[in-house]
């Protein structure tokens, strides 16, 4: 029997994959090392018993939007909530991208910017970063002048390098780009700068969107909940491309309850940041090149230790330690990325690494 053909532009693409194998210590997907507090689960289950299962959820997730607006000191009309920040990115591409439109990324960076842009039929242009994995003003201006992008993606802190963007780069992008500037702050709580502050100014830019997720700081990767802070005029446009009732009742409940534990989550951010520093010092002591990070992960290069990245990844896997192998990404030869886990998981990783490079 003859199979129907998928779109021509999809036939040459691969799906997004992150290897998942059974190991004792999994540090490859930047998940939070601990589940939410026990009180969160009790409160969630209590709220879940009140769900009207035969009714559709609140279509606009008004209560959750109001509480997120309170968190960021903005208006509820600036908050859009979705099934993970990836759906936010997809919504932005559906709204502002499409056939004949251009999206710009700065490589190496999070692969889903290009993936989602291409699946929504955008033309994707990959600009470069400097040797410190930062975006230079000259490169930013040049790519905007030459491509006039409809969508420009900035990842801050950047995945997989951990590099934050600066206020100057964000402001330059907003002032020069004719299209939407998306600052993805999936790891924003670990950084010392947030572009959300720019959206709170009296004359806030009309083209800036800042995305966030509950997957990292809020320990809710299994829920798939994300949101963005955007100019109010954009939200009615988003409603034209999202599916009806796309955010179910349980996600809305989980998000609202998570926000009750703000203090606990901030304490966890401090603990993870301290562990990140401890790991960085241990890796540096082993002769590895460690890149500065303001996220819940570290990227390091193996070249100086005499073992290439692919080989070291396999040696760690043989000891039941899974990290992310970035060695085959453009510009990241011999680079691995490790998520900050619990203290015990981090000890196991460091011990395995010591054995793997000797």
Q: What is the mean pLDDT of residues 213-230?
A: 96
| Whole-model pTM over 0.85 | yes
Tell me the per-residue pLDDT of 265-297, one tens digit each, with 9 for 90 and over.
999 999 999 999 999 999 999 999 999 999 999
Closest to 186 (Cα-Cα) out of 159, 224, 167: 159
Residue 202: pLDDT band (50, 70, 90) is confident
User: What is the Cα–Cα distance from 77 to 30, expressed in whole angstroms?
Assistant: 30
Which domains are present in the chain? 8-36+263-356 (3.90.1150.10), 50-261 (3.40.640.10)
Query: pLDDT tens across 57-72, in order?
Result: 999 999 999 999 999 9
- Minimal CA–CA distance to 234: which of 112, 125, 115, 151? 151
Supply angle C-alpha 204, 210, 215, rounded to 5: 155
- Read off the pLDDT of residues 160-180 as tens digits, 9 standing for 90 and up: 999 999 999 999 999 999 999
DSSP annotation string for 62-92: HHHHHHHHHHHTS-GGGEEEESHHHHHHHHH
Confidence of residue 149 (pLDDT cuts 50, 70, 90): very high
| Partners of residue 183 on adjacent β-strands | 154, 210
Residue 173: which of 221, 139, 199 has the closest Cα?
A: 139
């Amino acid at each position: 029997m003859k199979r129907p053909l998928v779109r021509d532009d999809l036939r040459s693409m691969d799906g997004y994959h992150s290897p998942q194998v059974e190991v004792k210590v999994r540090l490859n997907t930047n998940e939070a090392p601990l589940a939410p507090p026990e009180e969160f689960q009790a409160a969630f289950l209590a709220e879940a018993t009140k769900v009207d299962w035969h009714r559709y959820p609140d279509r606009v997730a008004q209560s959750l939007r109001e509480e997120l607006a309170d968190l960021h000191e903005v208006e509820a009309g600036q908050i859009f909530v979705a099934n993970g920040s990836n759906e936010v990115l997809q919504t932005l591409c559906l709204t502002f991208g499409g056939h004949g439109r251009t999206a710009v990324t700065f490589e190496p960076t999070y692969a889903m910017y290009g993936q989602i842009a291409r699946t929504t039929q955008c033309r994707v242009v990959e600009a470069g970063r400097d040797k410190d994995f930062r975006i230079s003003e000259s490169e930013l201006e040049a790519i905007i002048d030459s491509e006039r992008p409809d969508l420009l993606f900035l990842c801050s802190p950047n995945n997989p390098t951990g590099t934050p963007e600066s206020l100057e780069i964000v402001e330059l992008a907003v002032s020069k780009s004719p299209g939407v500037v998306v600052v993805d702050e999936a790891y924003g709580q670990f950084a010392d700068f947030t572009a959300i502050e720019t959206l709170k100014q009296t004359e806030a830019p009309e083209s800036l969107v800042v995305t966030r997720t509950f997957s990292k700081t809020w320990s809710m990767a299994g829920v798939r909940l994300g949101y963005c802070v955007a100019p109010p005029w954009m939200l009615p446009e988003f409603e034209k491309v999202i599916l009806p009732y796309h955010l179910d009742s349980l996600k809305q409940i989980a998000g609202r309850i998570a926000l009750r534990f703000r203090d606990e989550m901030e304490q966890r951010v401090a603990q993870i940041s301290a562990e990140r520093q401890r790991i960085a010092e241990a890796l540096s002591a082993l002769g590895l090149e460690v890149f500065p990070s303001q996220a819940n992960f570290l990227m390091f290069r193996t070249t100086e230790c005499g073992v290439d990245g692919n080989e070291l990844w396999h040696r760690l896997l043989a000891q039941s330690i899974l990290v992310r192998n970035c060695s085959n990404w453009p510009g990241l030869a011999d680079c691995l990325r490790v998520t900050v886990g619990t203290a015990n998981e981090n000890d196991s990783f460091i011990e395995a690494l010591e054995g793997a490079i000797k």
